[in-house]
Amino acid sequence: MKNYLIKYSVILVFIGFVLNTKSFAQETTVKDYKFSFKFNTIKQPDNSRLLEVNFIATNKKDRKDKVPIYQAEIKFYNFTEEEKVLLNTVKTNDEGIAQLIIPKSKSFLQDENGYINLSAVFEETDAISGYEKEITVKDIFLELNLLEIDSVKTANIKAYTIDSIGEKIDVEEEIDLIFSVAGMLSKMPINEGTLENGTYEFEFPTDIPGNINGNLDVFVLVDDHDEFGSIIQKKSVNWGVFNNKIIENNNTLWSESAPIWMYIVLTILLVGIWANFIYTIVNLIKIKNEGKELELAKED
């Protein structure tokens, strides 16, 4: 009976191994993945505009299995109802990202309401279906001013659009703003506010560390606004605090003064040694006196 159970167990293990091997040997196909085609635009500090596509395939069963679509041709367009202009064609990199920067000198086509219509297109291939995403934004300009007003460091932001004849028009919509400064690894938020009637102002903190020269890079961000999209503006200012602290050197083995614990240990050792000397001398004197007393006692 025991031998029978052992043989039966070995057969089950072998069958399980074979089944697992077959399951691992099955090839993963395109049908096993769901595709994500994201398109966004960011207006940058130099007033150029970044167009970016993120093209990723995610395994339907194992969502941790994400595969960037590499070398996919993405066509970026600027269009109106009457006209469509190809801005450029860019291939995705090994992270599945395709980026196109449109310089500030480039004039976009705008519709009758002053909106810029942009699209990103991936044309269908034998393996992957085609994708297209559109974005509509109104062009906006951010003006970041860092001034000292009555000895108070002040950050002021103004937002405006430019009409067809080049006139600046203050933005009337409320826009949420995020202010930050550049850190060693990431940006550190310092203030959040809402743009009203085209302007916002706040007192700049005076305790923010800067570089060795006290310089700071200050950023203001409009994050994915419904009408204006995302905008970043940046300015440098000499308002940082550089802490050049004088560090007091503690007593060390290589300094002029030894550590305190060394003085204590040395004192205890010296006291112990001298105490031992004194104790020994006292006992020797006692022994000598007792010897004299014994000799006198014998003579009597």
Smallest CA-to-CA distance from 48 within 2, 111, 118, 105 is with 105
Percent of the chain with pLDDT over 90: 56
Find out whether 230 and 42 touch, Cβ atoms under 8 Å.
yes
Exposure b/e, 123-152, CB count within 10 A at least 16 = b: eeeeebeebeeeeebbbbebebebeeeeee
Radius of gyration for the chain, computed over Cα atoms and rounded to the nearest angstrom: 40
Confidence of residue 25 (pLDDT cuts 50, 70, 90): very low
Percent of the chain with pLDDT over 70: 86
Q: Is the pLDDT of residue 21 over 80?
A: no
Smallest CA-to-CA distance from 198 within 229, 167, 156 is with 156
**Better-scored residue on pLDDT, 12 or 178:** 178
- Which of 147-151's residues contact partners 24+ apart within 8 Å by CB, and which partners? none
Q: What average pLDDT does the segment 93-120 reach? A: 94
Q: Is the pLDDT of residue 20 over 50?
A: no
Find out whether 167 and 70 touch, Cβ atoms under 8 Å.
no
Structure confidence at residue 252 (pLDDT):
65
Q: Is the pLDDT of residue 8 over 70?
A: no
Q: Is the pLDDT of residue 240 over 60?
A: yes
What is the residue extent of each domain of the chain? 31-138, 141-237
CA–CA separation, 222 and 144 (whole Å)? 13
CA–CA separation, 111 and 78 (whole Å)? 11
Q: What is the pTM of this model?
A: 0.69
Q: Is the pLDDT of residue 164 over 60?
A: yes
Structure confidence at residue 185 (pLDDT):
80
Q: Is the pLDDT of residue 22 over 80?
A: no
Give tens-digit pLDDT for 124-156.
998 899 999 999 999 999 999 999 988 899 999
Q: Do domains 31-138 and 141-237 have the same CATH topology?
A: yes
Structure confidence at residue 179 (pLDDT):
95
Structure confidence at residue 93 (pLDDT):
96
Angle at 64 between CA 59 and CA 67, to 5 degrees: 55
Q: Which CATH architecture has domain 141-237?
A: Sandwich (2.60)
Give tens-digit pLDDT for 114-132.
899 999 999 999 889 999 9
List CB contacts of 237: < 8 A, sequence separation 6 or more: 146, 215, 216, 218
> Which residues make beta-bridge pairs with 230?
42
Q: Is the pLDDT of residue 233 over 80?
A: yes
List CB contacts of 81: < 8 A, sequence separation 6 or more: 111
Q: Which CATH architecture has domain 31-138?
A: Sandwich (2.60)
